Amino acid sequence: GAVALLPATTLLLLGPRVGAGLLFPLAYSLFLVPFGDELVPPLQTITAEITIALVQLSGIPARIEGVFIGTPVGLFVVAEACSGVKFLIAMIALGALVGNVCFRSWTRRAAFMALCVIVPILANGVRAWGTVYAAQYVGVEKAAGIDHIIYGWVFFAVVIAAVLGLGWKFFARAID
């Protein structure tokens, strides 16, 4: 309700013509509403499936039971915090902003939004695989620490840069 108060107040005080001109910023304020908890279980499962596929492709013997992945060095769990929901929502918000600012065509906007949904889900699976893979060589404790520092910040910054880089050549508006 508090977030909806801003657009409603804007429309009330400034009128519908100004509201129409501010439609995107007012609608973008909906990203202030916390959501995504319902996405956690399916994202955990998807991350676990991607991780086990990559672990097995890496030649590491592993088994999966739900969100638990067993390897020779230990048992890993794709926890709720590791589902990638926060990064997915952040990428959707970024995609909405970039789509509005940089594209004129609705098909390009839709394609970019699809990219902003698919890439973070796949990247989160790669991040989880990297943790399991690193644990085979440096130990579980060090791999978990590396995960939150390297993959938690650096890896996702690279993913954001890659998504923007892929979209850059299709921007319909001049850089200036």
Residues 130-159: pLDDT tens digits?
Answer: 888 888 887 777 766 666 666 667 888 899
What is the pTM (predicted TM-score) of this model? 0.85
Give the whole-angstrom CA distance, residue 98 versus residue 105: 12
What letters, b where the CB count within 10 A reaches 16 and e where it falls short, cover 64-97? Answer: beebebebeeeebebeeebbbbebbbebbebbbe
Q: Where are the beta strands (DSSP E) in the chain?
A: 63-65, 68-71, 74-77
Residue 114 has pLDDT above 90, yes or no: yes
> Tokens 């840069």 map to which residue?
161
Place 173 in a pLDDT band, splitting at 50, 70 and 90.
confident
Q: Report pLDDT for 83.
A: 83
> Tokens 């929901």 map to which residue?
85
Other CB atoms within 10 Å distance of the CB of residue 107: 8
Supply the mean pLDDT for the chain: 88
Averaged pLDDT for residues 67-91: 88
